[in-house]
Amino acid sequence: MTLASRALAALDTVRDPELDTSIVELQFVSSCTVTADGVAQVRLRLPTFFCAPNFAFLMVADAYDAVSAVEGVTRAEIVLEDHFAATTINDGVAARAGFVATFDGEAQNELHELRKTFLRKAMLAGQDRVARPLLAAGAQPADLAEMRLGDVPPSPDLVRLRERRAELGIRSDDDAPLLVDDTGAPVGLEALPLHLRRVRSTRVNIEANAGHCLSLLATRYGVGSATDEQVVEQMAIHTTP
């Protein structure tokens, strides 16, 4: 792999915290190049001029960290374009100033708790992705209540669920219960119907927002050939029992 392709692969690990999707997959990365002396130059774009600055800051900062960690990169230059707070965010991330110092007088707290809040939502949505096919295959709610991660057939969704749980410090080994609440506590049979509705609605919300963002990005920049298919998929999610 070239150094530029390794930098792009690093960017693929950076997620939009609200959408739980790679910024590369979302086409938020408009370019990624590396000079002969190892300077990585990355340009990012977002669906609208007024996308939330806290989420934008997280993505720019995470992109900086990911690319800077690539062996052979001597310096990372991450530039957010076409955003009302782009200059502030770009300067703050380049200075490693943190969110509060970057938005001095406007921000009161760093973004650790915000990140955890959306990571918990991603973890809940992941349970629906894993549990729904099991229900469709004939599993009963009582089966799910007793099921462990090691009982679930291998799939990319299961890998993703394990990763989100590990990030939250929630057990993700084979003996860990499949269905857990925000804190990692197992969901009992009595609470299971409400929990399944909750994880379903959480997933629908995240994926519908992702489809909406793809549509806005396509409209703004004329990119995203798969956007229409993605939007149709999100619409189908709303109508699937």
* Among candidate residues 93, 109, 125, the one where a domain is terminated: 109
Regarding whether 22 and 126 lie in a shared domain, the answer is: no
Residues 13 and 51 in one domain: yes
CA-based radius of gyration for the chain: 20
Range of the domain at 227: 113-239
CATH number at residue 75: 3.30.300.130
Q: Do 135 and 105 share a domain, yes or no?
A: no
pLDDT in tens, 32-61: 999 999 999 999 999 999 999 999 999 999
**Each residue's pLDDT tens digit, 83-137:** 999 999 999 999 999 999 999 999 999 999 999 999 999 999 999 999 999 999 9
Asked whether residue 133 falls in the same domain as residue 227, the answer is yes
120 and 217 in a single domain? The answer is yes
In a shared domain, residues 181 and 82: no
pLDDT of 72 strictly over 50? yes
Same domain, 103 and 129: no
What is the rounded distance in angstroms from the CA atom of residue 61 to the CA atom of residue 66?
9
Q: Are 87 and 13 members of one domain?
A: yes
Judge if 142 and 90 occupy the same domain.
no
Mean pLDDT value of segment 49-74: 98
Domain boundary among 47, 77, 109: 109
Which residues have a Cβ under 8 Å from the Cβ of 225 and sit 6 or more positions away?
none
Rounded-to-integer distance, Cα 152 and Cα 23, Å: 28
For residues 143 and 96, state if they share a domain.
no
98 and 28 together in one domain: yes
Question: 103 and 127 in one domain?
Answer: no
Among candidate residues 109, 126, 152, the one where a domain is terminated: 109
Share of the chain above pLDDT 90, in %: 91
Query: CB neighbours of 18 closer than 8 A, spacing ≥ 6?
Result: 52, 55, 118, 206, 209
Count: domains in the chain: 2
pLDDT at residue 223, rounded to an integer: 86
